């Protein structure tokens, strides 16, 4: 279901760790990995604070997207923020990223039919020989990307399961609410036959996940399963919200309070963009149409990942 459309205002990439990312003429998405040449690409977590806490966590933050409208909002309060300044890879216009549910697929560019020439950029999966986190080539033997059955069993109240087939493999993931840690279990499996998200979901299955990350794993597996490969546009799946940190104040003192706060009910509100994993590779350029495809009902809001 196509829910909303916007446009790509800018794209950015940086091959070194820095808070900001330089604006580029185009970026290349690699399925299951991230933005080609970007320091945050990979199947294991790459953000340095997360790496220090637990380097075995899955990278559900491969692509960072921010709505351009945020820049005008903080600009009215005296903060000059431009594309790439907050470290995002894709700056959008005209689409409410924060209001989309977890598991939403964002496709870039005009629709294309299966069998047509997909143009520039890599195909649906990471190309053979692509290094993933310095390990084995994507889809190769001997590394964390090797396909096997593994489980995600969530601690806490009422487990919710997703079971889907198609898109290159069957997937079944189980997650539960609450804030408890999530460990690998045997009752539910994540099984992929070389699907585009197989590697990062294998990492998730082997890691201890908190509740929101486990819920993201469920949504990502379901999105990969319902994508039948008929749409050749580059695409990402929304995994969650960026959790803003104090580095934002290093860019502009006081800016952090403008991108994270609480609503009238006391709930935390995060406005510094969304995080996604790459479902289908390809080139993304400024001016590309962004089309949102919602997951089936019931929808779950994006949470921090």
More confident residue, 194 or 163: 194
- Spatial distance between the Cα atoms of 73 and 283, rounded to a whole number of angstroms: 29
Question: Among 38-52, 212-226, 284-298, whose mean pLDDT is lowest?
Answer: 38-52
The whole-model pTM stands at 0.79
Spans of all domains in the chain: 1-124+230-296, 126-228
The more confidently predicted of residues 49 and 289 is: 289
The reply to whether CATH 2.40.33.20 applies to domain 1-124+230-296 is yes
Q: What is the DSSP string of 171-183?
A: EEEEEE-SS--EE
Q: Which residues pair with 173 in a beta bridge?
A: 162
Tokens at residue 282, please?
Answer: 């390809």
Q: Phi then psi for 91, rounded to 5 degrees?
A: -105, 125
Q: What is the pLDDT of residue 53?
A: 82
**pLDDT greater than 50 at residue 280:** yes
DSSP code of 209? Answer: B
User: Which has the closest alpha carbon to 182: 160, 149, 164?
Assistant: 160
Q: What is the rounded distance in angstroms from the CA atom of residue 169 to the CA atom of residue 198?
A: 9
175 vs 281 pLDDT, higher one: 281
pLDDT at 184: 36
Position with higher pLDDT, 158 vs 173 = 173
For a pLDDT cut of 90, what percent of the chain falls above it? Answer: 65
Of residues 260 and 136, the one with the higher pLDDT is: 260
Find the range with the poorest average confidence among 6-20, 168-182, 232-246. 168-182
The sign one gets for the Cα dihedral 73, 105, 240, 3 is: positive
Mean local confidence (pLDDT), 114-119: 49
Q: How far apart are CA 233 and CA 40, in angstroms?
A: 22
Average pLDDT over residues 137-165: 33
What DSSP character marks residue 281?
A: -
Per-residue model confidence (pLDDT) at position 90 = 98
Q: Residue 194: its pLDDT value, please? A: 53
Bigger pLDDT: 46 vs 240: 240
> Which of 120-124, 148-152, 199-203, 258-262 has the weakest average pLDDT?
148-152
- Tens-place pLDDT, residues 19-37: 999 999 999 999 999 999 9
């Amino acid at each position: 279901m196509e829910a909303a459309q916007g446009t790509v205002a800018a794209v950015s990439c940086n091959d070194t760790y820095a808070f900001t990312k330089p604006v580029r003429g185009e970026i290349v998405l690699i399925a299951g990995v991230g933005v080609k040449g970007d320091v945050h690409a990979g199947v294991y977590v790459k953000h340095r604070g997360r790496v220090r806490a637990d380097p075995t966590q899955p990278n559900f933050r491969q692509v960072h997207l921010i709505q351009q409208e945020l820049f005008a909002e903080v600009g009215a309060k005296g903060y000059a923020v431009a594309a790439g300044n907050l470290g995002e890879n894709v700056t959008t216009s005209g689409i409410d990223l924060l209001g989309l549910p977890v598991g939403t697929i964002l496709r870039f560019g005009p629709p294309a039919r299966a069998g047509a020439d997909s143009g520039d950029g890599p195909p649906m999966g990471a190309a053979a020989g692509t290094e993933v986190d310095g390990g084995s080539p994507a889809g190769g033997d001997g590394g964390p990307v090797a396909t096997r059955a593994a489980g995600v069993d969530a601690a806490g109240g009422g487990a919710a399961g997703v079971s889907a087939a198609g898109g290159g493999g069957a997937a079944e993931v189980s997650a539960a609410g609450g804030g408890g840690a999530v460990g690998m279990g045997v009752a539910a499996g994540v099984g992929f036959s070389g699907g585009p998200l197989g590697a990062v979901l294998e990492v998730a299955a082997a890691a201890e996940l908190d509740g929101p990350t486990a819920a993201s794993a469920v949504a990502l597996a379901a999105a990969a399963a319902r994508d039948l490969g008929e749409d050749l546009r580059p695409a990402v799946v929304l995994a969650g919200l960026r959790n803003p940190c104090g580095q934002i104040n290093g860019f502009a003192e006081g800016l952090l309070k403008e991108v994270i706060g609480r609503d009238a009910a006391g709930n935390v509100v995060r406005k510094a963009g969304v995080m996604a994993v790459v479902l289908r590779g390809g080139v993304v350029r400024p001016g590309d149409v962004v089309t949102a495809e919602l997951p089936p009902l019931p929808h779950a809001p994006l949470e921090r990942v």
